[in-house]
Amino acid sequence: MLVLVVFIALLFASWLVVRQLASEAGRELRSVASENGSCVLKTYTRRYSAAGVAGGIASLFGSSYYYRVYSREGALLATSEWKFWAREFGDMDAHWVNRTAMYPAQDGWAGWGLPQCD
């Protein structure tokens, strides 16, 4: 039983490392500023191929897209990068609705209400 628990823990840790590598090797696809330009919502794609065969396997268990919101000064305000339970999509453009950054997800639209992005 202990061997199985250790094996599962190692698999999960390996998946996290591959996911991080894929994110770092990924690229920005689109960006859209909030109405007054105080924040930017960016769409990124992971490049799982950077991690070789392990990346190909990991891509089956995670989203290829993720979203980040930055302040005008470049500070990261929100990210979907580590929402393991969610699958984001890149087939529709992310956008702003007032102070809310919206992006396409498995259950429709997901997002963050960010009062500083007035």
SS3 41: strand
How long a stretch of residues is the chain?
A: 118
Structural domain boundaries enclosing 23: 2-117
Contact 39, 102 (CB under 8 A): no
Domain total in the chain: 1
Per-residue pLDDT at 100:
94
Distances in whole angstroms, Cα of residue 118 to Cα of each of 53, 58, 94: 44, 37, 17
SS3 66: strand
- The percentage of the chain sitting over the pLDDT mark of 70, rounded to a whole number, equals 97
- Look-up of token digits 């690229």: 27
Low-confidence spans in the chain with pLDDT less than 70 = 84-86
Q: pTM (2 decimals)?
A: 0.84
Per-residue pLDDT at 108:
87
Per-residue pLDDT at 77:
97
